Structure 1
Amino acid sequence: MARSRAAILDGARAAVEANGTKITMAQVAARGGVAKATLYNHFRAREDVLAALLLDEIDRLVAAVWPLELSRALTAAAVAVSEHPLLEALGGQDTTTLAVLARVDVRTPGWARVAAAVEQLLRRAGRAGTPTVLRWLSSYIIAPADEVDIAADVAVLLAGLPPARSQP
């Protein structure tokens, strides 16, 4: 079951890179090497596939930056967002979806996961300011930058973040 889901998400990833979010279930199944029946056993609609793909991409990014110290984690996350092939594909094909993704709304599953990870990274470093970091990180969805500029932005960002409040 997990292998089928992974194949489906890989297929969805390839389909989105090629076609933006205007993918079909047939494209996802074909690119994932699974039968359409298998795809429909996991996901009822294209929107469900896209939502699962987004959460999978977030989980991958969080796992990649989690072991890093705060400055390096933020830099790596912003670089990953700036250079992400799915976001690049959307930038050329579906700017409306890109704008929706950049809207920080922690009530959505994706931004809730990002917020929880940022909160933990900041807490581990003795800092606060999750909403500020989320808005900063979302800016790279719309306006990608290179690693040198991002590292400079991180230095400014960290200088402005308050220390974490001590627990009573």
Structure 2
Amino acid sequence: MNRTRAGLLGGAARAFAAHGPRRSTMQSVAVASGVAKATLYNHSRTKDDVARALLDAELRRLTDLTAGRPVAEALPALADELATHPVLRRMAETEPDQLVALLSPGATGWAELTRRLAAALGISADGAELVARWLLGVVLQPGLTTLRRRHAALVAQLLEPAG
């Protein structure tokens, strides 16, 4: 990813975390990115395009975070990232309906999310579905770090092959 695009996505994350995606404007994203609005429009035509690009970049970042790690290490790391993600926290507070629409099973990106989880964690499609549903719960109700980590250990145990 080039520096301009990375800067735009970082600015989008800051604007969305500050105002929520619904209240953010292309102008607020441009200001948070430190670029002219025309520069932003050269890369994305609409705010929805910006949101999709940010979501894709975040999924890639989280996939990279888990790749090659044992499931028992990857799950708490994922849960902690999602529980403290500034955009997700803002959406949970101010735009829960949009968050649920984005992340609910059956949503457009759900199959892609579970596919990426299965590949990154080296687990079955059913295992990825279980993990995705648990992580959705973490996004909506993060709870205490210690509780998230205990639950991550339980989910990891469920994913272990029967011996």
Query: Structures share a fold, TM > 0.5?
Result: yes
**1:42 Cα deviation after fit:** 0.8
Match of 1:13 in 2: 13
C-alpha contact 2:30 2:37 (8 A) present in aligned 1: yes
Instruction: Give the secondary-structure state (helix, strand or coil) at the position aligned to 1:67.
Output: coil
**1:45 Cα deviation after fit:** 0.5
**1:158 Cα deviation after fit:** 2.8
**1:113 Cα deviation after fit:** 4.3
**1:99 Cα deviation after fit:** 1.5
Matched letter for residue 116 of structure 2: A
Q: 1:67-115: per-residue Cα shift (whole Å, max 9, x none)?
A: 321111011101111111111111222111221233034742xx44432
Which 10-residue stretch deviates more, 55-64 or 70-79?
55-64
Give the TM-score of the pair, scaled to structure 2. 0.86
Match of 2:115 in 1: 116
Give yes or no for the alignment of 1:149 onto 2:150.
no
The verdict on how the C-alpha distance between 1:2 and 1:112 changes in structure 2, with shifts beyond 3 A counting, is farther
Q: What is the Cα-based RMSD across aligned positions, in Å? A: 2.4
Match of 1:51 in 2: 52
Matched letter for residue 10 of structure 1: G
| Structure 1: gaps of 5 or more residues | none
- Counterpart CA distance in 2 for 1:95 and 1:149 is 23
C-alpha contact 1:4 1:38 (8 A) present in aligned 2: no
The verdict on how the C-alpha distance between 1:30 and 1:122 changes in structure 2, with shifts beyond 3 A counting, is closer
Q: 1:17-73: per-residue Cα shift (whole Å, max 9, x none)?
A: 111012111111111111211111111111111111111112112212223211110
C-alpha contact 2:14 2:32 (8 A) present in aligned 1: yes
Q: How many residues align?
A: 161
Match of 1:130 in 2: 128
Give the TM-score of the pair, scaled to structure 1. 0.83
Which 10-residue stretch deviates more, 148-157 or 135-144?
148-157
- Counterpart CA distance in 2 for 1:28 and 1:122 is 33
C-alpha contact 1:65 1:77 (8 A) present in aligned 2: yes
**1:145 Cα deviation after fit:** 2.3
Instruction: Give the secondary-structure state (helix, strand or coil) at the position aligned to 1:129.
Output: helix
The verdict on how the C-alpha distance between 1:127 and 1:12 changes in structure 2, with shifts beyond 3 A counting, is closer
Give yes or no for the alignment of 1:104 onto 2:102.
no
Runs of 4+ aligned residues of structure 1 deviating over 4 Å after TM superposition are none
